[in-house]
Structure 1
Amino acid sequence: MTAPRLPFFVYGTLLRGQRNHALLAGRVRSWTAAVLPGALLFDGPGYPFAVADPAGRGRVRGELVGIAEESYDLVLADLDRLETYVPGAPGNLYERVRRAVTGERGAQEAWVYLANEPLAAQLLAHGRRIDGGDWPASR
């Protein structure tokens, strides 16, 4: 089964001005400021991890990225590779999940890479949380 063609919510190294942004160059049809509600952001080794907030009150700031139709399959494969995500594989560092994000047009579904469950539990217990959920502002 093929993945639905949703936009991506990015919150770390894929943001404009960050080191992996070039991966999206020339393949994006829209960039919109957006918020992922119900999530917390933690600092990792040079990149952040978003985690579902057990209390449901956290917010992660980022951008909603609409991918050009002709580039969608390549961008999906490139982002999965960057995030070391293989659908259904055990041991993924991130999981690509569908979540509602809020942007200029209100709430809409997007793909989001969240920390896998064991890593999320470890981060919630011992991680360095990024207050305000804004990774570039925390650096």
Structure 2
Amino acid sequence: MTNQAERLPFFVYGTLRPGETNYARTLRGRTATEEPARISGALLYEGPGYPYATAGPAHAVVHGELIHPRDADYDAVRTALDLLEGYTPGAPEGTGNLYERVATEAVRPDGRTVRAWVYLAAEPLATRLRATGTPVAGGHWTGRAARKSPR
């Protein structure tokens, strides 16, 4: 089991990606490195303005970015992300967390893996998404590109 205070990088897949609104509010100027990555065993669903990821079958993939906060900013970044994602560390499951912060294996472009935090939809939201949600094809959310494309 991973300690919730462990200093892992963050795997982000929606509005926390570079160029998105919550990146600008929460991460800009506070990261040491950012790189494309993917995780397996998770499904991505459309949401109102942002996506949700849930645990899924082993073959499912979500694409995003691996964010390494600057050392001096790590605790503040983790706190800000927990707040943004509606996650309270140590809260009993089912007590109102919108997301759960869990450790996962992220795969870098060169194939190397790194343990990282990812925010997955908490139950019962995850159950509802699996039953009635709209999956994001290919596990790659393009919120910014979709908003800018002509209709």
TM-score (normalised: structure 2): 0.86
Q: Match for 1:118 among 109, 119, 124?
A: 124
In the TM superposition, what are the counterparts of 1:48-127 in structure 2 within 5 Å? Answer: 48-53=51-56, 55-89=57-91, 90-104=95-109, 106-127=112-133
Identity among equivalent pairs (%): 49
Residue 136 of structure 1 deviates from its aligned partner by 1.1
TM-score with structure 1 length normalisation? 0.94
Q: Does 1:34 align with 2:37?
A: yes
1:13 aligns with 2:18: no
Show structure 1 runs of 5+ residues with no match: none
Runs of 4 or more, structure 1, over 6 Å off, are none
Report the alpha carbon displacement of residue 2 of structure 1 after superposing the two structures with TM: 6.0
CA apart distance, 1:117: 2.2
Deviation at 1:109, TM superposition (A): 0.4
CA distance in 2, matches of 1:25, 1:33: 16
Whole-Å Cα distance in 1 between the matches of residues 114 and 23 of structure 2?
Answer: 22
**Which whole-Å CA distance do the structure 2 matches of 1:44 and 1:81 have between them?**
18
Deviation at 1:87, TM superposition (A): 1.1
Larger Rg: 2
Extract unaligned runs of 5+ from structure 2: 147-151
Post-superposition offset of 1:104? 3.5
- The separation in 2 between residues aligned to 1:62 and 1:127, in whole angstroms, is 20
How many residues are treated as equivalent by the alignment? 138
RMSD of the alignment, in Å? 1.5
Structure number with the higher strand fraction is 1
